Amino acid sequence: MATISDVAARAGVSTATVSRALNGKSTVDPELAARVLLAAEELGYHPNGLARNLRRQETAVLALIISDVENPFFTAIARGVEDLAQVSGYSVVLCNSDENEDKERRYIDVALQERVAGVVLSPTGRSTNVEHLRRQGTPVVAVDRPLNGPDGDQVLVDTRRAARDAARHLADGGYRRIGCLSGPAGVRTADDRLDGFRDAVGEDTTLFRRTEYRAEGARLAALDLLDLPEPPDALLVANSTMTIGVLQALTGRHLRPGRDVGIVSFDDAPWATLIDPPLTVVAQPAYDIGRVAAQLLLARIADGTRAPTTTTLEARLIERQSSRR
């Protein structure tokens, strides 16, 4: 692989000049610059980013560590981050922590070691530790879930309120035994959604289950609820992946969404309008979350002294047929 000195030799100049010419820095004699460009071309020269970054102590890549690549909510965030980063000349690499604290730690380490310019992170758990990053001066912004511990930028959704509104919507629709399926304890969105649900139906309810944010767990939990002596007549489900499991459970019991069991699900999945009846959902502004997060990150990379902010976006209830009898 050709190096900068190969180019310098071929162009008959110093490596400094090559560097300047290639980076469009300061003033380089046009004729020399042309010679350099030609030499680089002929040699098939590609700058070594490692060396450059080592020297410059900075990289034009952002890391985005998300907790589930297979969840459309997170991929929409990814798109938002990417679209914004792109126009500022940053590349973004995605890391899938898979709701697994070990993997998350590994990727935080990779981000640290590769000295990325900044990281956007949806923290997996309570114990997510970004101190290493912070201490090194790598800005990090949390999305979807707050980072406990010292401050930093975050962009969240008022998910407790959204859950409360969704549960009330079900109650207004005439459902009387409303249940809830939420994610794992300790995951903030899951806790919040459950709290919001309780705000609406009363603290004393036992009509809820908590599982992983996955289809299979939700299917089992739904079945469990449905087998109760007094089963729920409506369900608030904490994400669209879980809803897949819930819908399977309903089908297995020959229960129809809406008429038999009212359903409201978080996240407006692409297939939400395809099922029968169409699914009432709490739509989260995932793409915007990503954009805002990227914006904050870039701002903080430019100026590390900005005061930490937390942005809270609103979710929006989209009423369709699954919450009507």
Residue 96 touches its own copies, criterion: CB under 8 A: yes
Reading the block at residue 215, the tokens are 């289809």
Torsion of CA 41, 45, 46, 50, to 10 degrees: -150
Report the largest interatomic distance among the alpha carbons of the chain, rounded to a whole angstrom.
87
Measured from the CB atom, is 96 or 311 closer to its own copies?
Answer: 96
Indicate whether 252 belongs to the interface with its own copies (CB under 8 A): no
Q: What is the DSSP letter of 308?
A: P
**In the chain, at which residue ranges do the beta strands (DSSP E only) sit?**
61-66, 91-96, 118-121, 140-143, 153-157, 178-182, 208-210, 234-237, 262-266, 280-283, 310-313, 316-318
Selected range binding its own copies among 8-16, 92-100, 186-194, 289-297, rule: CB under 8 A: 92-100
- Closer to its own copies by Cβ: residue 197 or 266: 266
CB of 110 to its own copies, least distance (A): 5
CB of residue 50 to its own copies, shortest distance in Å: 4
Q: Is 282 helix (H, G, I), strand (E, B) or coil?
A: strand
Distance CA 301, CA 67 (A): 23
Per partner kind, with CB cut-offs from 5 to 8 A, the member of DNA, its own copies, none near residue 14 is: DNA
Instruction: Go through 117-129 and write b for each residue having 16 or more CB atoms within 10 A of its CB, e for each that does not.
Output: bbbbbbbbbeebe
- Under the binding rule (CB under 8 A), the answer on residue 109 touching its own copies is yes
Minimum distance of its own copies from residue 248's CB (angstroms): 7
Count residues near its own copies (CB under 8 A): 55
The answer to whether residue 223 forms part of the interface with its own copies (CB under 8 A) is no
- Summarize as ranges the residues that interact with its own copies (CB under 8 A): 1, 44, 46-54, 61, 63, 69-70, 72, 75-76, 78-79, 82, 86, 91-96, 98, 103, 106-107, 109-110, 112-115, 132, 135-137, 215, 241, 244, 247-248, 251, 269-271, 273-276
